[in-house]
Amino acid sequence: MFSGFIFFSISDYSYTDFYKRLEIRAITMAKIELEDDQDINVVKEIRQDFLEELPNEKITIIDLQQFDIHSKSNLSIPVSFLEEIENLKRAYYKNKNTFYSGIKYHNRGKDYLVIVSAENYYNTHHIVYLRNLLFIASLISILIIIFIAWFFSRRVLRPLQMIIGDMKKISTENLNFRLKEPQDNEELRSLTSTFNNMLNRLETSFETQKNFISNASHELNTPLTSIIGEADVTLAKERSKEEYIISLKNILEDAGKLDKKTKALLFLAQTGYDGKAQTFISLRIDELVIDVKETVEKIYPEAVIHLDFDSLPENPDKLTVNGNTQLLHLAISNVVMNACKYSKNRKVNFALAASDKNVIITVKDKGIGIPENELPYIFDPFFRGSNTENFHGYGIGLPLTRNVIKMHNGSVIATSSKAEGTIMEIKIPIAP
């Protein structure tokens, strides 16, 4: 486009310039041929020295008193061009590559038309040369631009291709692999950082699934093994009535454990749904907290639970949430019962507060605590801390609580250190 702009600009200028040259020759020839009282020799010398002869240059002088320009003549000049000169005193005309410039000249009471014509050698030589030069220069420029574009695109795309290659290497077997983050490209660095963060979440999810399968297999396999083993031993030989009764009691006890674990697992799966099938109502969380305290005290009569309402808001509407009463009761009860169980019935602080957006329930105990390196896994199904061997449990309570609170668009945060106790904080959005 730039070369085309130059070409047509120069072409148009060359036409205008050539017409001016012809006009100067017309004026000069008019003075030479029609003026008698001037030094004709001087004009002729000027023309000879400074006005070189043009290709096929022709000069035509028409006496308007003797020649009728409105009638057809043997001249090769159009009548319309002659009339334009007479009316406007100067005019230009082009026929193929021959250019005409005409003026109306007045001398001694007579009017003359002086017309000079010639071939435009600028158009036939210089413009053609310029066109070829621009065409070649454009081709060379395009090749240079293509090379530069290829070079820079390779420089930009090479890191991207390396990232794609590394991404293709990632599978479920090597989720610990991470992409290298380029430091000289902010966009690619942000892309690789986002992808690495996604890998972190996927790896955590896969590890959670692995832990669940491993723990679930162990928890379900243990009572099944006991049942099968007890039945094999009992059937190995004939037993007395008392021995059969004892064996059946052992089988019944292990079957009961298996039944509880299976039901807990199914209920945990149900709370993993989106909650649309659950009935949500507007309820007062302070009333629910009081009910939870009474329920836990019935299950653990030795428990010491201190209910702290010192931080209750003045506006009671901030204690209202949209939720399922049974599920929230179960979720909060699990947290309080864990606090009582793992603190060996020492004092448990059960507090209720509210912010502008959330109801906040805090359960604080002074029990065995949770090892810091095990905190990320306490919400995994069937996971139990390494310091809980002496306490009965299945590892279902906290995952169940987490699922229920998530159904209510809330969150559960645990902070703890071994032998110093645990703080569980539950946040549930206030009803609009």
pLDDT per residue, tens digit, the chain (432 aa), is: 888 888 888 877 777 777 888 888 888 777 777 776 555 555 556 555 556 677 788 888 888 888 877 766 667 788 888 888 888 888 888 888 788 889 888 887 888 888 888 887 776 677 778 888 889 999 999 999 999 988 888 777 777 888 888 888 887 777 778 888 877 778 888 888 888 888 887 876 676 666 666 656 666 777 788 888 888 888 888 888 888 898 899 889 888 878 876 766 666 555 554 445 567 888 999 999 999 898 888 888 888 889 888 888 888 888 899 888 888 888 898 899 888 888 888 889 999 999 888 999 999 998 888 888 888 888 877 777 777 877 777 677 788 888 888 888 899 999 987 777 899 999 999 988
Give the separation between CA 79 and CA 75, rounded to whole angstroms. Answer: 9
- For residue 272, give every residue at least 6 positions away whose Cβ sits within 8 Å of its Cβ, in sequence order, or none: 403
Give the separation between CA 381 and CA 269, rounded to whole angstroms. Answer: 10
The two tokens of residue 285 are 């969380």
Q: Which residues are bridge partners to 99 per DSSP?
A: 94, 118
Give me the phi and psi of 277, to 5 degrees please: -85, -10
- For residue 123, give every residue at least 6 positions away whose Cβ sits within 8 Å of its Cβ, in sequence order, or none: 11, 14, 15, 18, 97
Q: What angle do CA 290, 291, 293 make, to 5 degrees?
A: 65
- For residue 336, give every residue at least 6 positions away whose Cβ sits within 8 Å of its Cβ, in sequence order, or none: 292, 293, 296, 305, 348, 350, 363
- Residue 400 near residue 376 (C-beta atoms within 8 A): no
The pLDDT value recorded for residue 41 is 59
What residue ranges define each of the domains in the chain, with the CATH number in brackets?
A: 2-126 (3.30.450), 186-270 (1.10.287.130), 281-429 (3.30.565.10)
Give the separation between CA 120 and CA 153, rounded to whole angstroms. Answer: 48
pTM equals: 0.46
Give the separation between CA 348 and CA 363, rounded to whole angstroms. Answer: 7
Residues in the chain: 432
